[in-house]
Amino acid sequence: MRRIILFIFTLFVTTATTATGAYAATMEPASPAGGPTLVTYTRTGGFAGFGDTVTVDAAGVARVSSKPAEITLSAAELDGLRANLDRIRTWWSSPAGCDIADHIAYSITYGERRARRCHVVPRDWQPAVSQLDDLLVRVRAGRATGA
């Protein structure tokens, strides 16, 4: 009988906190080293079924959602990433290309700005996406520096 009451109580508390948003707030991805997040980049879809998220904090620590490892960007790399992100002007999402079979969806969150694109990224995204894709490969391979 106690187990049933405990189960019902747990179910009630979980439902109540989810409805108020308290539970949902704890599910937000934390920044890699606990500091403020600089950028979050997500690449999903494609024939291979990508599902990758790269998060870089303000100190330059990068993590990939699918790999329990991290690397720290050099000061020059971090400055370059910030410069590439600052050059992005197309901060609106577009469904164009999302209807293509096996498309890849890209999203970038930088500061208060967030946008999602499918299949092809805008020209001003390309330097940042290239650098973030490289970080993805490096973290997975455990390489601190680019090849």
Per-residue pLDDT of 91-135, as tens digits, reads 999 888 888 888 889 999 999 999 999 988 999 999 999 999 999
By C-alpha distance, which of 8, 5, 58 is closest to 33?
A: 58
Classify strands 67-72 and 104-110 as parallel, antiparallel or unpaired: unpaired
**pTM reported for the whole predicted model:** 0.71
**Looking at residue 123, what DSSP letter applies?**
G
In angstroms, rounded to a whole number, what is the distance separating the alpha carbons of residues 29 and 53? 10
Which strands form 113-118's sheet, in the order they lie side by side? 67-72, 61-64, 50-57, 37-45, 104-110, 113-118
